[in-house]
Chain A
Amino acid sequence: MVWKTTLGHILGKATPPTAADPARAAEMRARVAAAGSARLGRSLAIRHVAAGSCNGCELELRATQNMVHDLTQYGFTFTPSPRHADILLITGVAGRNMVEAARQARAAMPEPVLVVACGDCAVDGGVFKGSPAIAGGAEAITAIDLFIPGCPPTPTQIVQGLLALIEAHSFPPKKTRR
């Protein structure tokens, strides 16, 4: 009976998850509430594209979804389809083989689109700057709204970066951004 094992596990041996920093998480939730997100609503879908990373950023991006960092509590979810996405999150350099694919993903997203460059490589090419095999950082693919530096950025830095993005777009702009 698996439910018995599972239940026994939860009630018995498992150490309860501790939030990364309860005070900080509470503060960030308050910031989300204060921002109001009039324009974006309280639910944002992220389409992640690895355009030439070392997979370090992907590890930490996945860690934002675990019980400690719990990105979902702020209203962010990851979506497989660019058609459902509000945010394009690019990790890694703009590898020559990936530029076209990443541009197509960007083009497939409904406007308005916010683009996040996550990690040093996406910010400006990072350690791979100057390599003939890359076109540069994520800016070589499309215009960027937010840069999250770090090699790789910690899950906390990624979550804080995304919250800053919500705050920056919390009030309806006068005309549609392009």
Chain B
Amino acid sequence: MILLSPPDWAAYQGRFIALWTDAQYAYALYQPAELVAVALEGGTYPALPHAGAGWYQRLAFDLHGFKATGAADTRPAIEHFRAADFTAPWPEFAAPEVEGVHQVAVGPIHAGIIEPGHFRFSVRGEEVLKLEARFGYAHKGTLGLMRGKSPRLAARYAARISGDATVAHSLAFAQAAEAALGVSPSGRAIYLRAVMAELERIANHTADIGALAGDAGFAFLDARFALAREYICAAAAMAFGHRLMMDIVIPGGVAGDIAEGGAGEILAVLAALEAELPSLTRVFEDYASLQDRVIGTGIIPPHLAAEFHAGGYVGRASGQAHDARVQPGYPPYFEHMLHMPVQQEGDVAARIRIRLDEIPESIRLIRDMLFALPAGALAAPLPPGSGMGLGVAESFRGPVWHWLHVDNGTIVTAFIADASALHWPLLEHAATTAILADFPLINKSVNGSYAGVDL
């Protein structure tokens, strides 16, 4: 960590990832893993000019009350209903000033089986002029609950930051705790973690590609991909004891070994998926009315993705060749060369293609890792030490960063940055490149986590 003066802090150049505060400092994280800090003066710190900083500054104010001086955007991030009886009036949105424009309100309860969030569209006819997304509906005070607990105990909160990326969040949290306390997990634990993380990636990619086809009205692909996910979850339950592999990655290692026959089960399921995938991809590419919906829809131009330093398939579909497994990288990926698909179009189709390309790559990684699975202890004990630690893992949707300050074995401050925080502003832009009826498709293709940003 580098402590900067306020002018240096505001002028610091780099690929911005996240910003947060504790009682004394404001911290900013830049790629690949540079952490800078500035001392708070009277509960304020200078606002950062980076595109992605807005959300974090609003969040810091709602969580701790520390203000970013000079910040343009001071809307509440997660605190909308402070009244004790939860009946405060609904938040107001700025009325459109152009004639002929009206607003469409969607949420916080959505039509499908999804998380809560509010979208406010300003539309003229079918054309979307502006989208304002409001979050905080899934706010559960997770960061506050972590404080005062041991890393081992707080790991169950990390596993529930975003259920679809539970392995990746647990992994980033474990790495942060291990860095803070100077513990190194065994080779076996590292490999088992990576196998779970890649399984989670395939499960989410298959389910989401299917759901996208389903949103466009093509039930066949939805059914086949949902089935693929189901089999992966069943294999995960057999091998690791939980369908989503929740609470298995813990600080120091893993909570349990892979079951006997688990590796065979996983490999069999992946072989079936690998055999079916080329044919499913061909169906996706052949179906003209599906292609018509996804090509050129919801465009995130590369320059905008670069401005927000978007990671994951959102970034990679818009020309950003970044993957936390490569840069900054973490074991065991140093030993397994990774093929990183990158596209320039930035539309819904490009994001689907990236995810289709990543499935065989993850299958290959799992095969290699299960084959090379070393023997060793499952978990190393955590000493009750003190220190700060940063951890990163590439979830299926992009990098997730965990930062921990541990004092005498208990957590003083924790912060978690999900990739979604940098993706949501891009969705707000992408929505304006299409008509209102395309929004479900665009939203699903970006697939930001609501719970992951509401913390």
Contacts and interface: CB of A to CB of B under 8 A. Distances in A.
Contacts, number: 168
Contact of A133 (B144, B163, B450): B144
Contacts of A135: 86
Given A80-B111, A131-B145, A55 B449 contact: yes
Contacts of A69: 230
Given A5-B286, A58-B115, A52 B243 contact: no
Interface string B237-253: 10000011010000000
B163 to A, nearest CB: 3
A61 B114 CA distance: 10
B116 A56 contact: no
A66 B219 CA distance: 11
A98 interface: yes
A54 B163 contact: yes
B223 A66 contact: yes
Given A14-B224, A78-B113, A63 B139 contact: no
Interface residues of B, number: 57
A44 interface: no
B243 A101 contact: no
A132 interface: yes
A15 B227 CA distance: 10
A56 B160 contact: yes
Contacts of A53: 115, 138, 163, 451
B104 interface: no
B100 interface: no
Interface string A1-42: 110011011001111010000000000000000000000000
B283 A2 contact: yes
B282 interface: yes
A97 B81 contact: yes
A56 B450 CA distance: 12
Interface in A122-140: 127-128, 130-135
Interface in A33-76: 48-63, 65-69
A18 to B, nearest CB: 9
Listed from nearest, the 4 A-B pairs whose CB atoms lie closest are A56-B163, A133-B141, A80-B111, A131-B141
